[in-house]
Amino acid sequence: MQRPSFPRSVLRMSAGAIIWALHFGTVYWLTAITCTFGLGEARLPWFSPSAGLLGVTAVAFAAVLAVAVAAVWGGLSSIRNWMTAGVGAFAAIAIAWEGLVPALMLPACV
C-alpha cells in the first residue's frame, strides 16, 4: 500500500479542527445576522435562532464524528489515525460546548 502524501495526511489529521473552525464561524455569523436584524426575540413560525444553531451544530458534530470514526476503523496503529481520532474527539467536544450550551441556556441576543 502506498503512503499518502504529506499535505493529504496533514489535511486529514486536522479535519476535525477545520470543521470546528467552520462551525465556530457559522455560529457567530448566524448570531450576528440574527441580532442585527432584530430576530433574536422574534417568534416567527419559519425561523428560530435556536433551531438554526442546533441544526448547524448537529451537522458539524456528525461530520467530525464521521472523520474520527473512520480513523478508528482504519486502525490505531499509525500516528496519522491517532491524530485524526484525537483531534476529532477534541473538536466534537468543542462543537457540542459552543453549540448546545448557548442554544439551550442563553437567549439569542445578549
* Count of beta carbons in the 10 Å neighbourhood of residue 9: 16
pLDDT score recorded for residue 88: 95
* Residue ranges covered by each domain of the chain: 6-105
- Distance between CA atoms of residues 56 and 97, nearest Å: 13
Q: What is the mean pLDDT of each run of 10 residues along the chain (110 residues)?
A: 83 95 92 80 70 89 95 88 94 92 74
pLDDT score recorded for residue 43: 64
- Distance between CA atoms of residues 39 and 17, nearest Å: 30
pLDDT score recorded for residue 11: 92
pLDDT score recorded for residue 84: 93
Residues paired with 44 in a beta bridge: 47
DSSP class of 78 = S
Largest CA-CA distance found in the chain, in angstroms, rounded: 57
